[in-house]
C-alpha cells in the first residue's frame, strides 16, 4: 500500500506513454505480474475487480476520501469499472508524493505503473492533475476528458523496494487520485550483437554464393 511522503529515496525515472481517455474495462493493463493495485476511496468501500485485476481499497493514500460519486451518472458500461472510477482520495495541498509498490519491488527489475484520475462533478470537471516520478518526468490527466477522465501508463526500472509517484494539482487546492496499479513486466529486449562464429559462417555463405554465381 502507498505511504504518504516527500522523500525521493526510491525515485527512479518513469517513461510515460501519455494520457489516454478512459473508455472501458479493457483499459486495465493485465500483462506481466501484479505487484499492487489500489482504488482510493472510503474505508468501507471494499475491493473491486476490473478486467481480472483486484484493486484493494485504501482511504489512506491522501488525507480525505470522497463521499460523492464523481462519475455523476456516467458509465463505462462495466459496473465494476464504474465503482473504481467512482471513488477517489484528495487533500494535503497542491503537491504530495506516494511510495508505491508496497515494498515489493526488486532493484533493477522492470515495472509499469498505471494511474487514473476521474472527476465529472460540475465544480471540477475541467481540472488537470499532474503525475510523475519527482524527477521531472510527468504526465497530465484531465478529470473529464471524453466524459470519463483519463489514465496513463509509465515504465520504470526499480531503484529500490518502492517507487515515488508524485502528485500535483493545477490551479486548485488539493491533489486527487482515483486508482493505480504496479506490475512487473519484461524489459525491452536488446538486439543481439552477432558473435565471431556467426560472422565467419556468414562470410563462408557469401563466398559460396559468389563462387556459384561465377560457375
pLDDT tens string for the chain (215 positions)? 554 544 444 799 999 999 999 999 999 999 999 999 999 998 888 999 999 999 999 999 999 987 778 998 999 999 999 999 999 999 999 999 999 999 999 999 999 999 999 999 989 989 999 999 999 999 999 999 989 999 999 999 999 999 999 999 999 999 999 999 999 998 855 444 455 555 565 556 555 555 555 55
Half-sphere exposure of 174 (CA within 13 A, CB side): 14
Cα 12 to Cα 52: distance, rounded to the nearest angstrom: 28
Handedness of CA 154, 188, 1, 107 (dihedral sign): negative
Half-sphere exposure of 140 (CA within 13 A, CB side): 8
Cα separation, 34 vs 8, in Å, equals: 23
Place of cell 481517455: 21
Distances (CA, A) of 25 to 18, 30, 53, 63, 80: 19, 11, 10, 28, 8
Name 38's bridge partners. 56, 180
Count of structural domains, the chain: 1
Residue from 180, 20, 8 nearest 85 by CA: 180
The model's pTM: 0.84
Q: Using one digit for the tens of pLDDT, what is the confidence trace for 72-99? A: 899 999 999 999 999 999 999 999 999 9
Q: Where residue 136 sits, what CATH number does that domain have?
A: 2.60.120
What residue numbers bound the domain in which 107 lies? Answer: 3-214
pLDDT at residue 168 in the model: 98
pLDDT digits (tens, 9 = 90+) for 173-196: 999 999 999 999 988 554 444 555
**DSSP H helical ranges for 36-186:** 79-85
Cα 120-164-108 angle, rounded to 5 deg: 130
Between CA 104 and CA 57 the distance in angstroms is: 18
Amino acid at each position: 500500500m502507498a505511504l504518504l511522503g516527500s522523500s525521493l529515496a526510491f525515485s527512479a525515472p518513469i517513461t510515460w506513454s501519455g494520457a489516454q481517455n478512459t473508455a472501458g474495462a479493457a483499459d486495465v493493463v493485465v500483462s506481466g505480474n501484479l505487484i499492487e493495485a489500489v482504488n482510493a476511496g472510503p474505508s468501507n468501500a471494499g475491493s473491486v475487480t476490473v478486467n481480472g485485476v483486484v484493486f484493494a481499497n485504501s482511504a489512506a493514500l491522501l488525507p480525505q476520501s470522497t463521499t460523492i460519486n464523481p462519475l455523476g451518472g456516467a458509465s463505462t458500461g462495466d459496473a465494476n469499472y464504474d465503482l473504481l472510477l467512482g471513488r477517489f482520495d484528495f487533500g494535503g495541498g497542491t503537491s504530495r508524493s506516494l511510495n508505491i509498490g508496497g515494498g515489493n519491488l526488486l532493484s533493477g527489475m522492470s515495472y509499469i505503473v498505471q494511474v487514473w484520475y476521474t472527476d465529472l462533478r460540475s465544480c471540477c470537471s475541467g481540472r488537470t492533475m499532474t503525475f510523475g516520478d519527482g524527477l521531472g518526468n510527468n504526465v497530465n490527466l484531465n478529470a473529464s476528458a471524453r466524459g470519463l477522465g483519463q489514465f496513463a501508463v509509465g515504465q520504470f526500472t526499480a531503484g529500490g523496494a518502492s517507487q515515488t509517484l508524485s502528485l500535483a494539482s493545477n490551479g486548485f487546492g488539493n491533489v486527487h487520485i482515483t486508482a493505480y496499479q504496479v506490475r512487473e513486466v519484461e524489459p525491452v529486449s536488446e538486439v543481439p550483437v552477432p558473435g565471431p562464429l556467426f560472422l565467419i559462417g556468414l562470410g563462408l555463405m557469401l563466398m559460396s554464393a559468389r563462387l556459384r554465381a561465377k560457375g
